Structure 1
Amino acid sequence: MMLGMGVARGQAPAAPAASGATAPAPKRQLQAVRISAAPKLDGVLDEAVWQSAPVATQFTELEPTPGRPEKYPTEVRVLYDDNAIYVGATMHDMAQDSILRELSNRDNIGNSDWFGVFVDTYNDHLNGYEFIVTSGGVQVDMRQSPANGEDGSWNAVWDSRTALHGTDWVAELRIPYSAIRFSKAPEQVWGLNFGRQRRASRQKFFWNEVKPQVSGFVNQWGELTGLKDLKPPLRLSLTPYVSTYLNHYPFNEQGKQNTTTSFNGGADVKWGINESFTLDATLVPDFGQVQSDNQVLNLSPFEVQYNENRAFFTEGTELFNKGNLFYSRRVGATPIGFGGVSGQLRTGARQFDGSRTGGEFVVQNPGVTRLLNATKVSGRTSKGLGIGVFNAISNDVYATVQDSTSGARRDVLTQPFSNYNIVVLDQSLKNNSYVSLINTNVTRAGQTYDANVTSALFRLANQKNTYAVNGGVVYSNRRGQVFGRNEEVADRDGYKYYVGFNKISGNFTWGADHGIESHSYNPNDLGLLFGNNNISQSLYANYRIYKPFWKVNRLNTYANLSYSLLERPALYQDLGFYAGGNTTFTKNFLSVGVDFSAIPTTRDYYDPRRAPLGRYYVRKPANTGLSGFISSDYRKKFAYDISGGVRLFAADGDRTGRYSMSLTLSPRYRVSNQLSFIYALSMERNQNQIGYAGGLDGSLPYDNGFLTSFGGADADVLLGRRHVTTFTNTASGTYTFTNRMSFNIRLRHYVSNVHYRDFTRLHPDGVETAEPAYQRNRDNTFNAFNIDAVYSWWFAPGSQVSIVWKNASASFFEANAATPLYFDNLSNTINTPHNNNVSVKVLYYLDYLALRPRRG
C-alpha cells in the first residue's frame, strides 16, 4: 500500500535509494514530554505544552529522489499522559493550493497529502503500528508484520483533527493506549518514525531516513525516548450491533414471489487480558453487508479463491496468516454436504411400466454456514514472543426436502457442528529474523473426519541484513470418515517443506528456493492449496536503479527460472522463464511495465481430474507471452489504466491457431474532492483452448474443486477444443460528504461464453483420439450481476451506521440456451428476476475507560 516496492498503478514508484550503501541510516531519537492535562484536539497547536516539546524535523526524501532533505519543513512534537500519546505536526508548504485535500473513505488516502506516525512499541524492528491522517481529515491505520507486510485491514479507535493555516496544514492526533500494546517496563524506548506525502509533487519524506535498498521497513525507524511510568490500561470495549434486513427473492419453491424480514443482534468484544494480549470475540456475527463476491465461470480443476470481506477475519490476523495456512473463507463456508443433497433424495414408487411417481425435491439448501461465535486472542510479550489463538464454532446445517406426493418434509444434515482452531507461536529474533510454530485444527461432530496441520517456519538474516535463509516444514493429517459415506478418508498423512536462500539488500538481489508438497499433503480444511504432489525449484534475480536517471524515476527489472515435477511419480510438469520491468517517467509520472515469458511444452496432470495423478495429462504446447500496463498520473482529474497481453502457442500436430489475449481499460474521473467515478472494462479471449469437457459418463466440468471431484484412475476423460470469451464491466462511484460520511455504489456484470469445436478421448500418457461421433453440445454461458450500494456514517469513534442495498442475479445456460452475443446476455441478465436485499446496521463503540466513574 504505502511503501510497496513495486510500481503502484497511478502512483510514483516507491522507495528509491540515495546510494548503493545497504546499511540503514543512523537511528535518530526524539524525546516525548509527559503532561498533566491533555491538549484540545482541534488542529491548532497553540497550547504552551506543544511549544515545550522537542521538535522532530529535517525529514529525508524517500521518493522520487531518495536522500534529499525536504524543502518545505515538517515539524513534529510528541506528548503523553496516563491515557494516550499526542502527536502534533505542522507541514509547511509553498501555497495553500499546493496542499491536495481529496475526501475519501476511511483507510483510503486518495489524491491527498498525508502525515503518518509509525510506532514499534516493543522495539523489535519487525512489528509496528501506522496511524495516518490526510489533509482532508481521513484516517488510515495499518499494522506492519513479517507475515502480512503492511496490513491495511487492521483498524483501531483513535482520534485526529486537521486544519489549514495559510500555507501550512496541521495534523493533531490522539492515540489512546487502548489502541496499541506495550510492556509494563518503568522506562521504555519505542521504535518511531514520521512520514509525510506532498501529493502535488509526488514526494514522500521520513524523519528517520528509509532506504529502499535496505531490506525491511520497521527496522529503519528511529527511537522515541522519555517514556516513563506508562501503565497499560484495562482495554475493555463492547461494540453491540443491531441490524434489520428486508429480503426479496424472485421465487420460492411454489414459484411465488417471496419477501422476508429479519432482525439481528450481537456484539464484538475486546478485552485486554494483560499489557500484551487482547481477546477479540464476535458473538452471533452478522456478515450480511459485506461486498458481494466477484463470481466467475470456473473451468479449471481448482476452486476459486475469493477475497475475505468480513472485518473480523481481516483485522489483527497477522499472526494467524503466518505460513499461509489460514484461508478464513473456510470458516462459515459452504457446507461440506451442500452438493450431495440431490443424491439423498428418495425416489417415488415404481410403476408397472418402470416409471416412478412422486419422489422428493429440495425445498431449501443453505449455501453458507452460520457461525455461533468466533474468538481471537493475540499479542506479543516484551521478549518478542507472539502468541495467537483463534477459535470459531458453527452449528449443524440442514437442507429441507419435501415429498412431492404427501407433502411431508424432512431435514438432511449438510454440515455437522464444527470447531475451527489455530494456535501460533512466533518468536522475533535479532536481525529482522523469526521462528514460528503454527497449528490449525478442524474438529467435526460425529464420524465426519477431523483435520490437523502443524508447521514450523523460520527466517534467519545475517547481522548486516544482506542475506537471509528461510524455510519451513508442514505436516497434515486427516482422521475419520468422508461426510455422508461409510468410508475412511484416503491419504491421511502428508507433508510439505521448502527452503530458500536470498540476497535481500542492495540494488542487485537474487535467490534460490526448493520445495516439495507430497501427493497426500492437504491443508484445505482450514487453508488453501490449489494442487499438491509437487516438487518445485526456482532461481530469481532483480536489479533496481533507485535514483532517477535519464527521463525515469527509477527502474525495476526481474528474471525468474522455475522448474517443477510431480512428487509421485516423479514426472516432468513444466519449465518456465519469466522476465520484465517497470518504471515511472519523471515528467508526467506515467507508469509503464512489461512482462515476457517463454514456456516449453508442459504436462497438466490436474486438468483431467483423475486420481492418482500421473497416468493422464493434457499436453500444452510451447508458448510465449507478452503483457504490459500503462497507468497515468492519478493527480489529474482524468486518469486511466490500460493493461493487456497476448500468449501464442506453437502448432501441436494438426492443431494450429491457439492463442489467448486480454485487455483491460479503466478510466477514472474525479469531479471534485468529494465525487469520483471509476469504470473498468475487461475482455479475455482463449482461442482453441484444450481442456477438460467432462467425463464420457455425462458429467460436466463445472462442479470442480481440487481433491473433491477427481474421478477414478481408469475413468474415461473427454477433452474439448473450445473458444472462451469473457467480458467484465465494473462501474463504481463515490460521494464523500465529510471525512466521516460517504456513499458508494458498485455495479458489476460478468459474462463468459464457452463454445466447443470438437472433442477427443484422453488416454493414459497424454494420448488423444478423436471423438467425431460425440454429438452432445456442451456450449454454455454464465452471467453474474451485482449492485452494492453503501451509505456509511462514522458518527463517533468506532461507531457506525450503514445502510446497504444489494441486488444480485446469476444465470447459467447450457447447450442450445447458450448465448454468445454480449448485449443479448446483458439483456437477459437485466430481465432475469433478481434477489434484492436492503439492510440497516448500527454499531456503537463502548469503551470501559470512558464509561467508568471518574475519581477525584
Structure 2
Amino acid sequence: MKNVFFLVFIVTNATFIFGQELIQDPKNKKMLRAFPLKSTINIDGKLSEDEWKNAEIASDFITYQPDNGTPVSFEKRTEVKVLYDDDGIYIGALLYDDPSKIVKEITERDKFGTSDFFGIFINGYNDGQQDFRFFVSTAGTQMDCMATENGEDYTWDGIWHSNVSLTDFGWIVEMKIPYAALRFSEKKEQIWGVNFFREIRRDRQKYTWNRIDNNIGAIIPQAGILEGIQDIKPPTRLFLIPYSSYYVNHNDNGTNTEFKAGMDIKYGINDSFTLDAILVPDFGQTAFDNVVLNLGPFEQQFNENRPFFTEGTDMFSKGDLLYSRRIGGSPSTYPETTDNEEVSQYPSRINLLNALKISGRTAKGLGIGVMNAITEKTEATIRNTQTGEVRSEVVEPLANYNILVLDQRFRKNSSVSLVNTSVIRDGSFRDANVTALLFDLNTKANTFNLSGNFKFSHVNDLDGNKNGYTAYLNFGKTSGKYRLSANTTYISDKYDINDLGIIFVTNYHSFSLTNSYRILKPNKTFNTFKVSTIAYSEIENSTGKPQEASFEFNLESTDKKNHYFGLGFLLSPLETFDFYQPRKTGRYVYNPRYSFSWIDISTNYNYPFALDANFFLDFYDQDKRHNYGIRISPRYRFSDQFTLVYAIDWNRQNDEKGWVDFDNDNIIFANRNRNTIENTLTGKFSINSKMTINLKARYYWSYAENLNFLTLTDDGYFLPNPNYNEDQNSNFKIWNFDLSYSWWFAPGSQVSILYRNNAIHNEKRLNKNIIDNLDHTLSNNLNNTLSISFRYYIDYNNAKKWFKT
C-alpha cells in the first residue's frame, strides 16, 4: 500500500503545480473570418462564383516539416478562403506550384499515397482536445479522421464533398463540409479552432497556416481561429446505414450460401454526444488475421479489423483496458470430457448479437463514453467414442460486455479520467470488473508531463474471488532537443483484465529511464535525426528475481533525399527468469544474458521503385543459441493507378529453449531449431478515386525441430532427459488470398465484391521444402468464399428533402 499512498501524494501535489490556468496568447493565433453565402456554390474545383472573390484570405503558411518555422516561398504559396451557409462551410484553396512537378497517385479513400494534398483541421469547441480533419489529394481522393494528441483515427468517415482541378499555376481545392460532419455548441456566434495543412509530396515538405512549433509536444492547441459564423444550429445528426451481404462458401465438404441484412445507426443525441449502434452485425469482409505458429505461453494478439470497434474509439482506449477482440472472440471455457469422450465440434468464435456506444464531451470538457455489446450463448459438441452418443455443453453463455469512461479535460492539455469495464456472463460462469483512475498533467507551455494511473481488478470465478491492482507513475520533459522521462510500475500477482482487456505478465515492479536527443531543424546531412536510450529493469515480486534487465540504444534519421535509416542495439547483462514459460505456478526458467541489434532502411516512396529492408541479430550466452532474420520488401509504382508491394520475411532461431510437454511431475523443454518464412504480396489498381481493386496474398510457413529434450529443475535450469521420446515437432502453414473490388458510388455508400480463399495446416511431420509445403497446404481443404456487400448511407437531413420533393 505504500505505493498507493505515494501515488496519491504525487497526484495531489502535481495537480497544484500543474494546475495553473493555461492562457493562449492571442498574438500567436492567426484569425480568419468566414463570409456568409447568399447564393449556391457548385463544388467543381474551380472557385468561379463571385462570392469567392470577396472572401477573406488565409495565407503566409509556415513550414511544419522538415524546416520548422520557415516561411513558405512565394512560388509555393497557399491562399485559403472560407464561406458558410445554413448547411455547412465551404473551403476554397489556391495552391501554387510548378504543374509539371505535382505528383498525383490515385488511391482509395483514406490512403494518402504519393500525392500532394490539402487539409483543414476543425475544432468546433476550440478546446484544444479533438480535431475533425479533412484532406483532399491532387487526384481527388478524400481522407478524413478524428484526431487527438494520442493520434489520428482514419476509421472514422464523414460525409462531405470535394473536387480538385489542375491549373497552369498549380491546383485548386474546393470543399463543402456539412455541419452534420462536425461537432460544435449551439451559440449565436461560433469561434472555432482551425488550421490549414498542405504537403508537397515530392519534397516531403509540410506546411500549416497557423504555425505548429515542433518544440512543443501538443499540436491541436496550436490552431488558429475561425470566426464570423453566426446564427447556425447544429443539425439533427441521424444517419441510417442499411446493408445486405450475400456469401457463397465452397470447400471439400460442399457448398453453402448465406444472406445477411442489417443496419448501422448513428444518432446525435445533442450537439456533443453521438450514439452508434449495429443491428445484426456482419464482419464477413474484414481483413484476415496474420496467424502465426505460437509456441509461447501467451495467446497471439490480433489487430481489430471490425469498423464498429475501430471507429471513434479513442476515448475507450484510455487506460488500455479494452481489447475489443474479446467481444465475439473464442469461448472462455473448454468442456470437460471423460476418458471415452472427445470434443467433436468446438466453436472458434462467438456471434455478436448487437453493440452500441455513446460518446461525446460537454461544454465544460467532461468526456463521457459508454460501450455495450451482447454475445450469444454458444455450445460445443462432445461425442462418446464408444457409443457414438452426442451431447452439447455450453462453453460461453449469453454475455454482456460494458465499458464506461469519464474523462475531464482542462487547460486544453491535461486530463483526469475514470474508466470501468465489466463482463457479466449468465449462469455459473466467470464475471469480471476493472476500474482505473488516470491522470495526464502538462505544464502551461507543454514542456513537462506528469502522468500515471491506479487500476483495480475483481474477478468472480467458480473457485472464488480474485482482487488485484497496479499503479504507474511517469514524469518527463516533453519539449526541446533533449527530452527525458522516468517511470515506475507495480503490478500485483492477482491483477487480471483478460476478460475484456489483455495482459500477459503480472506480479512485478519495474523502473524505466528514457533519454533522447533530436534535431528540430534540418542540417547539412539530415532532415530528421533522433537518438534515444532506454534503461529498464523488472523484478518479480514474490522471489525478487529479475524478469527483465536491459539497456537499449536507438537511432532514427532521414537524409536530405528523404531516405530513412535506423539502427539500434539492446544489451541484457544479467541472467533473468521467466515465470510463464513453464506453464505452472511457482516454477520458472532462467534466461541467459543476451544482445540484440538491428538495422532498418526505407527508401523514399516518391520514387517509382522503393525498398524497405530490415536485419536483426541476437546472441545468447547459452550453448549455440542465436537468432537472426531479414525482411526485404520492394515496391514498384507502375503508374498513378497501379502499385505492387512484395515482402519476404525470414528468420531463424537456433538452439532455442522451449516448453513442449508435461511428463507426470516433470516439465519438459527442448533444444530446438525454428525456421520461419513469410511471403506477402499486396497490390492496388485504382480505376479512379472512387473505384479500387485490391489484392493481398500471404503464405506463412514455420517449423520447429526438436533436437533433444530437457527436464526443468526447481532452480530454473535444465538436465538432459534422454528417456522422453514423444514426437513434438511442429510444421505449421497458412495461406490467405483476398481479391476485392470497392466502389464508393455515393458519399458513405459502397458496393464491395470479395473473393477469398484460405487454408491452414498444422502437423508434426517435418518437410523442409517450401514448395512441397505450399502444395500440401493448398490441397488441404482449401476454403473459397465469394461475397457481395451493399451499404447505403442515409442522412436524415437529406431524406427530409426527398420527401418534401
Q: TM-score by structure 2 length?
A: 0.94
Q: Residue 748 of structure 1 aligns with which residue?
A: 698
3-state SS of 2:715 partner: helix
Q: Residue 173 of structure 1 aligns with which residue?
A: 175
**Gaps (5+ residues) in structure 1?**
1-21, 251-256, 348-358, 482-486, 698-714
Tell me if structure 2 keeps the 8 A contact 1:25–1:210.
Answer: no
Q: Distance in 2 between matches of 1:734 and 1:84?
A: 34
Q: Distance in 1 between matches of 2:355 and 2:751?
A: 23
C-alpha deviations, 1:651-699, integer Å up to 9, x for none?
Answer: x3xx2x21111100000011110011000000011111112122124xx
Q: Distance in 2 between matches of 1:450 and 1:178?
A: 39
Q: Given residue 180 of structure 1, which amino acid in structure 2 is its aligned partner?
A: L
Q: Given residue 181 of structure 1, which amino acid in structure 2 is its aligned partner?
A: R
Q: Distance in 1 between matches of 2:259 and 2:26?
A: 56
Out of 249, 253, 258, the residue aligned to residue 254 of structure 2 is: 258
Tell me if structure 2 keeps the 8 A contact 1:552–1:583.
Answer: yes
Q: Given residue 650 of structure 2, which amino acid in structure 1 is its aligned partner?
A: M
Q: Residue 780 of structure 2 aligns with which residue?
A: 832
Q: 1:799 to 1:477 in 2, by over 3 A?
A: same
Q: How does 1:692-703 map to 2 (within 5 A)?
A: 692-697=659-664
Q: Distance in 2 between matches of 1:317 and 1:477?
A: 24
Q: Distance in 2 between matches of 1:478 and 1:273?
A: 34
Q: Given residue 464 of structure 2, which amino acid in structure 1 is its aligned partner?
A: E
Q: TM-score by structure 1 length?
A: 0.89
Q: Residue 337 of structure 2 aligns with which residue?
A: 344
Report whether the alignment pairs 1:601 with 2:574.
yes
Q: 1:716 to 1:185 in 2, by over 3 A?
A: farther
Report whether the alignment pairs 1:470 with 2:446.
no
Q: Distance in 2 between matches of 1:85 and 1:305?
A: 42
Q: Residue 202 of structure 2 aligns with which residue?
A: 200
3-state SS of 1:592 partner: strand
Report whether the alignment pairs 1:424 with 2:428.
no
Offset at 1:167? Answer: 2.9
Offset at 1:569? Answer: 3.6
Q: Distance in 2 between matches of 1:273 and 1:345?
A: 54
Q: Given residue 829 of structure 1, which amino acid in structure 2 is its aligned partner?
A: T
C-alpha deviations, 1:433-470, integer Å up to 9, x for none?
Answer: 11111111101000112110100101111112111100
Q: Given residue 536 of structure 1, which amino acid in structure 2 is its aligned partner?
A: S
Q: 1:261 to 1:627 in 2, by over 3 A?
A: same
Q: Distance in 1 between matches of 2:787 and 2:157?
A: 23
Q: Distance in 1 between matches of 2:27 and 2:717?
A: 61
Q: Residue 4 of structure 2 aligns with which residue?
A: none
Q: Given residue 111 of structure 1, which amino acid in structure 2 is its aligned partner?
A: T
Q: How does 1:493-572 map to 2 (within 5 A)?
A: 493-572=467-546
3-state SS of 1:764 partner: coil
Offset at 1:776? Answer: 1.9
Report whether the alignment pairs 1:620 with 2:591.
yes
Q: 1:695 to 1:402 in 2, by over 3 A?
A: closer
Q: Residue 759 of structure 2 aligns with which residue?
A: 809
Q: Distance in 1 between matches of 2:234 and 2:541?
A: 52
Offset at 1:113? Answer: 0.3
3-state SS of 2:663 partner: coil
Report whether the alignment pairs 1:682 with 2:649.
yes
Q: 1:578 to 1:807 in 2, by over 3 A?
A: same
Q: Residue 823 of structure 1 aligns with which residue?
A: 771
Q: Distance in 2 between matches of 1:445 and 1:35?
A: 58
Q: Residue 378 of structure 1 aligns with which residue?
A: 359
Q: Residue 798 of structure 2 aligns with which residue?
A: 850
Q: Given residue 643 of structure 1, which amino acid in structure 2 is its aligned partner?
A: N
Offset at 1:282? Answer: 0.3
Q: How does 1:70-81 map to 2 (within 5 A)?
A: 70-71=72-73, 72-81=76-85
Q: Distance in 2 between matches of 1:606 and 1:296?
A: 23
Q: Distance in 2 between matches of 1:525 and 1:181?
A: 34
Tell me if structure 1 keeps the 8 A contact 2:546–2:577.
Answer: no
C-alpha deviations, 1:191-227, integer Å up to 9, x for none?
Answer: 1100101112221111011122211110111111112
Q: Distance in 2 between matches of 1:226 and 1:523?
A: 49
Out of 759, 770, 779, the residue aligned to residue 720 of structure 2 is: 770
Q: Residue 718 of structure 1 aligns with which residue?
A: 668
Tell me if structure 2 keeps the 8 A contact 1:122–1:384.
Answer: no
Out of 282, 295, 298, the residue aligned to residue 294 of structure 2 is: 298
C-alpha deviations, 1:346-392, integer Å up to 9, x for none?
Answer: 83xxxxxxxxxxx6661x43211111100010011111111100000
Q: Residue 148 of structure 2 aligns with which residue?
A: 145
Runs of at least 4 residues of structure 1 off by over 6 A?
22-25, 404-407
Q: How does 1:730-745 map to 2 (within 5 A)?
A: 730-745=680-695
Q: Distance in 2 between matches of 1:621 and 1:410?
A: 49
Report whether the alignment pairs 1:218 with 2:199.
no
Offset at 1:408? Answer: 5.4
3-state SS of 2:798 partner: helix
3-state SS of 1:593 partner: strand
Q: Residue 88 of structure 1 aligns with which residue?
A: 92
Tell me if structure 1 keeps the 8 A contact 2:343–2:380.
Answer: no
Alpha carbon RMSD of aligned pairs, Å? 1.8
Q: Distance in 2 between matches of 1:33 and 1:640?
A: 48
Q: How does 1:48-63 map to 2 (within 5 A)?
A: 48-63=50-65
Q: Distance in 1 between matches of 2:201 and 2:279?
A: 42
Out of 434, 442, 447, the residue aligned to residue 415 of structure 2 is: 434
Q: Residue 128 of structure 2 aligns with which residue?
A: 125
Q: Distance in 1 between matches of 2:391 and 2:712?
A: 42
Q: Distance in 2 between matches of 1:519 and 1:409?
A: 40
Tell me if structure 2 keeps the 8 A contact 1:238–1:270.
Answer: yes
Q: Distance in 1 between matches of 2:187 and 2:141?
A: 34
Q: 1:606 to 1:836 in 2, by over 3 A?
A: farther
Q: Residue 640 of structure 1 aligns with which residue?
A: 611
Q: Distance in 2 between matches of 1:407 and 1:51?
A: 83
3-state SS of 2:28 partner: coil
Tell me if structure 2 keeps the 8 A contact 1:24–1:220.
Answer: no
Report whether the alignment pairs 1:629 with 2:605.
no
Q: Residue 333 of structure 1 aligns with which residue?
A: 329
Tell me if structure 1 keeps the 8 A contact 2:296–2:581.
Answer: no
Offset at 1:144? Answer: 1.4
C-alpha deviations, 1:69-89, integer Å up to 9, x for none?
Answer: 212111111111111111111
C-alpha deviations, 1:258-278, integer Å up to 9, x for none?
Answer: 211111110000111011101
3-state SS of 1:344 partner: coil
Q: Distance in 2 between matches of 1:736 and 1:480?
A: 52
Q: Distance in 2 between matches of 1:207 and 1:551?
A: 27
Tell me if structure 2 keeps the 8 A contact 1:38–1:81.
Answer: no
Q: Given residue 551 of structure 1, which amino acid in structure 2 is its aligned partner?
A: T
Q: Distance in 2 between matches of 1:407 and 1:772?
A: 40
Q: Distance in 1 between matches of 2:577 and 2:663?
A: 19
Q: 1:829 to 1:202 in 2, by over 3 A?
A: same
Q: How does 1:275-294 map to 2 (within 5 A)?
A: 275-294=271-290
**Gaps (5+ residues) in structure 2?**
1-23
Q: Given residue 34 of structure 1, which amino acid in structure 2 is its aligned partner?
A: P
Tell me if structure 2 keeps the 8 A contact 1:608–1:717.
Answer: no
